[in-house]
Amino acid sequence: MNIINNRELGFDELDELVRPAPEVVEFEEVANKMVSRRGFLGGGAAVGAGAFVMGSTTLAASKALAAGAPESRLAFNMVKANTLDTVTVPEGYKWEVVASWGDPLFSNAPAFDAATGGTGVSQELAFGDHNDGMAFFSKDGKQIMAINNEYTNGDTLHANRSDGMPKTTDDVRKNKAAHGVSIIEVAQRGGNWGVVQDSVYNRRITADTEMDITGPARGHKWMQTSADPKGLVAKGTWNNCGNGQTPWGTYLTCEENFNGYFTANDKNYKMPEAFKRYGISSEGRYNWAMADDRFNLAKEPNEPNRFGYVVEIDPLDPTSRPKKRTALGRFKHENAELTIAANGHVVVYLGDDERGEFLYRFISKHKYLAGGHNRDLLEEGTLYVAKFHDNNRGEWVALTPKTTGMTEAEISIHTRMAASKVGATTMDRPEWVASHPHKAEVYCALTNNKNRGVKPNAGGDATPAGGPNPRVKNNFGQIVRWMPMDSDHTHNEFKWDLFVLAGNPAVYDDANAGSKNINQDNMFNSPDGLKFDSKGLLWIQTDGNYSNEKGFQGQGNNQMLVGDPETGEIRRFLVGPKECEITGSAWNAGRTTMFISIQHPGEKGNSHWPNGGNSVPRSSVIAISREDGAVIG
């Protein structure tokens, strides 16, 4: 196994190389249970998948769409699927690039160098790579964005290296600086959005930025290193995927696939079982250990325990230090969807983006007080994990010393093991979670899971098909939603259904065709990003198979769609360039502009977006607006 030379692998494929799960030979038993329960075989032929989409929404959708009334709230003409190397938006809309990887944030920074990818110094003064989740902030008439930079494209970042891997200390410095978070001031000038160079708000938070460790894990022996013997201050954040935003004005950035950055140069090094559960390997993916000993497991065995958290940042105070909120658990965080419950407690919904992992909820110990001191509300609270039942009911199980037999610190560091102990429901890669702005209703994108009903998860937990994960070898994904009992986000019981099962009705006539609100015009696979607008419309972004072949024929490049939770109607709003992921979303204060991330265009070398010609592809933030200047969403 040589992970370093397998940079083209996705993170899930990398995990399976690190710790291949044993095949489960109980497929027939799983299938028989499914047929007896529902009369439906998830990977096969019995009953159409539409039978699995519960509740009134889909029934309303089918009636409304069939009868032609009532009038749709999706006031745009649907974009057709395509494989173009550009961004396609509906008639009456326009888009522009706001910031691209390598753009200088300061006037003293060198211009972007496509031939080499720049240097460590230039990258520390420039917009990071592979932008993902984002949020928009305003202060004193200034408009500030916090934007995640998840990981890097070695072939472009290290264009002067034959294999796209760091070879020098400065290469490692540059690679680490391309990760993390970019905080930028933006403004419209001459009708066009762009970065305000030299703004006091502009800063980079990278894999070398110091940040406080807070919560139950603070000071624990598993957090202690030679550089930080008290376990109080972590250095850096990376693989920042989704995000969240608090009503007290801070940004939540989520560490996802943190595991692929560590190596061990000692052949006698023995990997702890806990590390295996998190996909940590003795062979890393970025060569950082060549210049920084903290990425060498043989020298710093506790360093991985300091990553995999939600980090809280104040983008409006450039002097502030980020805080790792360990009370929200350690796993491969996708996003952090925060809402204030009716009783005043802060509730954060969290997904662990790996096949067969879990969906979580955090409830703060103290209550939110408008205008009060709320800055430490994410430091103390209780973490819960979801258990879904086939009767469309579910429950949140508290992860406490009593329920798990672990200390609070152990739960916060080894959260996956705690969730396994209480029998949580294994999910199909829980990605972004979105809470409805007008009622107690929450949605989660379960992007896909080829191992559903075939293999256990990394902890050995079974992954039978059923409940919110109805299909064996689920290649298309679905969006689950739940309604807390009594409309109370802190209630431990909920009802659930499926808003949509993605699929391809042009190729399949079984479960893989998708639910009733999927047709040959709006079909897609692998829902990933989710975000509600002010009208209660759900924006859906995809990060899936863009081959446009076989089972994915006709689905084209990754895309962004809009769904109406009241009717179930879904329309495609945008299609991205070749080989990209569509992710992250935010609106400006007036909601006349929507910002999204176009991540890793040309990840396999077949795109020259956004500049065209023979230019280097660059991950970028784009701004979308209506040509008439009206509000979006």
Q: What is the pLDDT of residues 148-204, one digit of tens each?
A: 999 999 999 999 999 999 999 999 999 999 999 999 999 999 999 999 999 999 999
**Residue 36 included in any domain:** no
Q: In angstroms, rounded to a whole number, what is the distance separating the alpha carbons of residues 630 and 374?
A: 35
The count of structural domains within the chain is: 1
351: helix, strand or coil: strand
Say which residues have a Cβ less than 8 Å from residue 420's Cβ, sequence separation at least 6: 459, 460, 461
pLDDT at 26: 37
Measured in whole angstroms, the distance separating CA 322 from the mean position of its chain's CA atoms is: 20
Q: In this predicted structure, what is the pLDDT of residue 284?
A: 83
Q: Whole-angstrom Cα distance, residue 43 to residue 404? A: 34
Whether this prediction's pTM lies above 0.75 is answered by yes
Q: For residue 51, is it within any domain? A: no
Q: Domain range for residue 226?
A: 80-626
- Establish if 17 belongs to a structural domain: no
> Which pLDDT value is given to residue 16?
62
In a domain, 60, yes or no: no
Model pLDDT, residue 435: 98
**DSSP string of 521-537?**
TT-B--EEEEEE-TTSP
Tell me the torsion sign for CA atoms 325, 330, 332, 335: negative
The answer to whether residue 68 sits within a structural domain is: no
- Identify whether 19 is part of a domain: no
Q: Would residue 21 count as lying in a domain?
A: no
pLDDT at 68: 52
Cis peptide bond N-terminal to 484, omega within 30: no
Q: Which two three-digit tokens encode residue 221?
A: 């022996």
Contact between residue 129 and residue 179 where contact means Cβ atoms under 8 Å apart: yes
Q: Residue 299's pLDDT is what?
A: 96
DSSP state of 146: E
Query: In angstroms, how far apart are the furthest CA atoms of the chain?
Result: 69
CATH of the domain at 496: 2.120.10.30
Beta strands in 190-232 (DSSP E): 192-195, 203-205, 210-214
> Quick check: 87 and 596 in contact, CB under 8 A?
no
Pair 633, 534: CB distance under 8 Å: yes
DSSP string, 84-139: -SS-B--TTEEEEEEEETT-BSSTTSPPP-TTT---HHHHHTB--SSEEEEEEEEE
Residue 196 lies in a domain: yes
- The string of pLDDT tens digits covering residues 260-316 is 999 998 889 999 999 999 999 988 889 999 999 999 999 999 999 999 999 999 999
Q: Could you report the average pLDDT of every consecutive run of 10 residues in the chain (633 residues)?
A: 51 59 40 36 32 43 50 95 98 98 98 97 98 97 98 96 96 98 97 97 98 98 98 98 98 98 92 95 90 97 98 98 98 98 98 98 98 96 98 98 98 98 98 98 98 96 97 98 98 98 98 98 98 98 98 98 98 98 97 98 97 98 97 87
DSSP three-state, residue 438: coil
Give the integer Cα–Cα distance in Å for 560 and 47.
Answer: 29
Neighbour-count burial of 56, counting CB atoms closer than 10 A to its CB (0-12 exposed, 13-18 middle, 19+ buried): exposed
